[in-house]
Amino acid sequence: MAINIKNLPRKKFVLPGNAACPGCPESMGLRYVGMALGEKAILVIPAGCTSVIQGLAPGSGLGFPIVNVPFASSDAVAAGLAAAKEVVGEDAVIVVWAGDGGTADIGFATLSGAAERGDNVIHICADNEAYMNTGIQRSSLTPFGAWTTTTWTGKRERKKDVPLIMLMHRIPYVATASIAYPTDFIEKLRKAASIKGFKYIHLHAPCPVGWRFDPAKTVTVAKLAVQTGMWILFEAENGRIRLSPPSKPYADKSRRKSLEEYLKLQGRFKGITEEGIRALEKMVDENWETLLKLIEATS
């Protein structure tokens, strides 16, 4: 079921009065969540950029029911909420909207626990690749070579592969998405909402403030991440992995744009050396190789 942007609900879930920075990818992502799930969504949000984006109490800049929760608790709160909704028989989609810290670092044990139990929750990791809300500190999802305020000479470690880790939890649905491909993301959200159990969607969300690029170029940068193969869009239903259409061409390395094209737009990679770029490129190749092998093995 292809999604046509014209047929999506008109109701706005990201409202005037929100406190997002110019060019914020999270407010884009939240708009798509609204378009995909509409009135059914209840959001559980741990500490992070969206704690700020939603605006000041007693008002709200977002049109969803929102439970703000401590950092390491979101998937457990969502599990309880989902259990309660099952008890009362309410048709709600419980969504955790967490950043890379709330997903891959401080929130990771909670995420893994909920996934293993199969709690009826969609976890969306809005991945802006560092702790942006506290001022651009590195996370385990910051890519190799990137400057942050705790890695002044570039991060030495590679990005943790959370989607594959979640795949190995054998949950019914895992997908990656990008804010540059809204219909792909919306389709994935709707699919996830139709499946009972734990669903994981990893949304790539380039941050103009933290990545040091022009706020007008959020979508351009996000697209380049896909076109250079840095970010691969796929989905896995019951463990069967498929490349998503926007990423399909780039399984062929020769069709990928050069990594430099992606890196040069971002101030965070200003200090990366030629050697660093080659190392990053090798990581991209390895990620593709692993994924293509997994696709073959699970098809």
Partner 1 sequence: MAVRPLTGNYAVAWGARLSRVKVVAAYPITPQTTIVEKLAQFIESGEMDAKMIRVESEHSALAATFGAAAGGVRAFTATSSHGLMYMHEMLWWTAGARIPVVMAVATRTMGPPWNIWTDHSDIMGQRDTGWLVMMAEHNQEVLDMTIQMFKITEDPRVFLPGIVGLDAFILSHTTEPVDIPEQELVDSFLPPRRQPYVFKAGDPLIMGNIPSSLEENMKMRWDIHRSMEEAKKVIQKVDAEWERLTGRGYGGLTECYRCSDAQYLVAGIGAWVGDMREAVDYLREEFGVKIGVLKVRFVRPFPREDILKWASSVKAIAVFDRSVSPGSAGPLFLDIAAHLMASGTMLPIKDLLAGLTGVDVTYEDIANALLRFVSEVEEMGTVKQPIEWYFGR
Enumerate binding residues for partner 1 (CB under 8 A).
39-42, 44, 51-52, 54-60, 62-70, 72-88, 90-93, 109-110, 112-113, 116-117, 119
**How many other C-beta atoms lie within 10 A of the C-beta of residue 209?**
17
Q: Please, which residue, 133 or 228, has the CB nearer to partner 1?
A: 133
Nearest to 237 by CA among 185, 291, 202, 200: 200
| 8 Å CB contact between 265 and 217 | yes
CA distances from 224 to 195, 231, 255 (A): 31, 9, 13
CA distance 181 to 232: 12
Rg (CA), the chain: 18
Using a 10 angstrom Cβ sphere, with 0-12 exposed, 13-18 middle and 19 or more buried, the burial of residue 142 is buried
In angstroms, give the least distance from the CB of 19 to partner 1. 9
CA distance 86 to 80: 10
In angstroms, give the least distance from the CB of 40 to partner 1. 5
In angstroms, give the least distance from the CB of 250 to partner 1. 36
Dihedral angle over CA of 288, 286, 140, 155, nearest 10: -120
Q: Please, which residue, 91 or 274, has the CB nearer to partner 1?
A: 91
Q: Please, which residue, 86 or 286, has the CB nearer to partner 1?
A: 86
In angstroms, give the least distance from the CB of 157 to partner 1. 25
Q: Please, which residue, 50 or 227, has the CB nearer to partner 1?
A: 50
In angstroms, give the least distance from the CB of 120 to partner 1. 11
